[in-house]
Amino acid sequence: MRKVVVLGGGLAGLSAAIYLALKENQVILVEQEPTLGGKASEIVEDGFRFDTGPSVLTMPDVVTGIFQDAGYKCPISFEPLELLSRNIFSSGRVLDVYQDWEKTQEQLDPAEKVSFVQLLKEARKLYVGACETFVFGRAPGILSLFKYAIRYGFRSYPTMKLASLIRSFNPSPDLERIFLRFATYLGANPYLAPAILHNIAWVEFGQGTVFPRGGMYGLVRALEELAVNLRVDIRRSAEVTHLEINKGCISSVVADDQIKCDAVVSSLDIIRTYQLLGWRHRLEQARPSLSGLVVFLAVRGHNPLMSHHTISYPANYRSEFDSIQLGEWPEDPTLYIYLSCRGDSGDAPLGCENWFVMTNAPTVEHSIDEERQTRRVTQLLINRGFLEPEQIIWTKHLGPRHLARMAYRGSIYGNAPDSLLSTLRPNNRVPGISNLALAGGTVFPGGGVPLALLSGKEAARVIEVK
C-alpha cells in the first residue's frame, strides 16, 4: 500500500484524497486551518450562517459523480434555481435572468431580445468547442492543443478581446455588463480578457445553477464525511513548511512532524507549492487575477428587492477595473449580493437575512485598508437604497489579507487571464519531480467548484498511473 500525502483540505484536496483512497492508497490529508474547505468556509454566529467563498454552483453532476464513483448515494439535495440572477442598474432598471430564456426575453426590447439570444448561442458554441479539451479532458499537451487549434482555433477568436466580441452583437449597455461580468469568475478584468471567456456565460445561463441544501459549505461537510468513511487520515492545523526531495522524488512532507511518503498531491496555490520545494515559479512575475472583499451583514427585516443572487452595477462599470488595475480601491464598485437564506431559511433567524456582499479588489500588496472598505461597502448598500442603517445588526469581513493565506498575493485564481494562452492554467505536473501532481484553481482545469473537484480527480489519476 502506497502512502500519499495530499496538501490542502479545500474542495480539490478532498476530491484528490477520495479518489486516491478508492485506489487503496494510505492517504494523509494535511490542512493548515482547523477546519476543511479552504476558500469554501463558513461563519456561524448569533443564528446567522454565511458561506465565505463560492456562492454559485453549476455542473452538480460533478459533485454527485464523486459519490457515485465511491459507491455512495450523494447526501446533498440540489435545488435548481429558476431565477438565476437579479441585475440592478444605476438607472433603476431591474432585469431578471431566468433559466427559461423566454421569461428573460419578456423584459427585453426587440433589439435586446436578438442580442441576448445571439450572445447565448455564441457562448454555447465556444463552450462546446472548449469543454472536451479544457474542462473534462486530461491536462492538454502539445498534440491536444494542436488538435483544438485546428478544429476550433479561429472560431475561438484568438486575437479578439471579450468586450469586442460582446459588442459585435450590438447589446444594450445593460446586457453588455451582464455578459462582461462573467470574466470576473476567473478573476479577469473584463476589458482585458480574451473572447474565449464568453463561454462561461453558457455554463450559468445555458446549463443553469443550483442551490445545495446546507449551503455551499454543505459540500465540504459531505466530502469530508466521505473521506473519513474511506479512511483518509485528516490532519488539521498542520502547516506544511517544506517538501524534501530525493533523487527527483518527494520523500517526505515536513509539517508539525516529518511525514515520509511515496507520492504527493498538492492542492495549494502553484506558487506556494514551488516555494515549498525551494523553487520559484515564473507566475510570481505575472499579473495576478482579481482579489475580493466580502462583507457579511446580519440584517434585520426582509428586502423584497433582493433575490438569491443579486448584482448591483455602478454607473461606470469600466472605471471599477481601471482603478483595480492601478492598485486602487474602486470608489463605486459592483456589488454582488448573495442571500443563502432565500434557499435555506435556517441560515438566518426568523425575520432576519444573511447578506454576503462581495466586491472586486486589488491584491494584497497594494495596502488596502479593509476596515475602511467594509464601511464603504456598507454605506453603498444604504446609498443605493437596499438597506436602512438600523437594519444592520453587525458586520464582518474577509478580504485580500485572508485570501493571501491560501492564494499568492490574495489573487483568487492565480495569474490574470488576459490572453488566450494565459487562460490555460498550468499543467498539473512539476518537471523534475516524478511523484508530485497538482490540483486546485491555479492549475488545470482552473477555478470554480466543479473545476476544482475535477482537478483533484485528475491529480489522483496522475499519481495512480505512475
What are the Cα distances from residue 339, in Å, to 92, 163, 286, 426? 21, 29, 35, 34
CB 271 within 8 Å of CB 443: no
The pLDDT tens digits for 38-80 are 999 999 999 999 999 999 999 999 999 999 999 999 999 999 9
* Chain mean pLDDT for the chain: 94
According to DSSP, the β-strands at 263-266 and 258-260 are: unpaired
Q: Name the H helices within 1-59.
A: 11-22
The pLDDT tens digits for 81-94 are 999 999 999 999 99
Quickly tell me which residue has 492542492 as its cell: 267
Helix (H, G, I), strand (E, B) or coil at 408: helix
Q: What gap in Å lies between CA 62 and CA 453, rounded to an integer?
A: 7
Q: What gap in Å lies between CA 38 and CA 30, rounded to an integer?
A: 12
The pLDDT tens digits for 278-297 are 999 999 999 999 999 999 99
| Longest CA span, the chain | 66
Directed axis angle between helix 449-465 and helix 11-22, to 10°? Answer: 40
CB 353 within 8 Å of CB 306: yes
- 392 has which bridge partners? 299
Q: What gap in Å lies between CA 164 and CA 177, rounded to an integer?
A: 13
Q: What gap in Å lies between CA 367 and CA 362, rounded to an integer?
A: 9
pLDDT-derived band at 186, boundaries 50, 70, 90: very high
Lowest mean pLDDT among 117-131, 236-250, 406-420: 406-420
Q: What gap in Å lies between CA 198 and CA 97, rounded to an integer?
A: 17
pLDDT-derived band at 207, boundaries 50, 70, 90: very high
Quickly tell me which residue has 465540504 as its cell: 220
What's the rounded mean pLDDT across residues 122-135?
A: 88
Q: What's at 130, amino acid-wise?
A: A
pLDDT-derived band at 135, boundaries 50, 70, 90: confident
DSSP states along 369-396: -HHHHHHHHHHHHHHTTS--GGGEEEEE
According to DSSP, the β-strands at 249-254 and 242-246 are: antiparallel
| Contacts for 288 with CB less than 8 Å, ≥ 6 apart | 187, 363, 408, 409, 410, 411, 414, 415, 416
| pLDDT at residue 367 greater than cutoff 70 | no
Q: What gap in Å lies between CA 193 and CA 361, rounded to an integer?
A: 17
**Domain ranges across the chain:** 104-206
What's the rounded mean pLDDT across residues 395-411?
A: 94
Quickly tell me which residue has 446609498 as its cell: 383
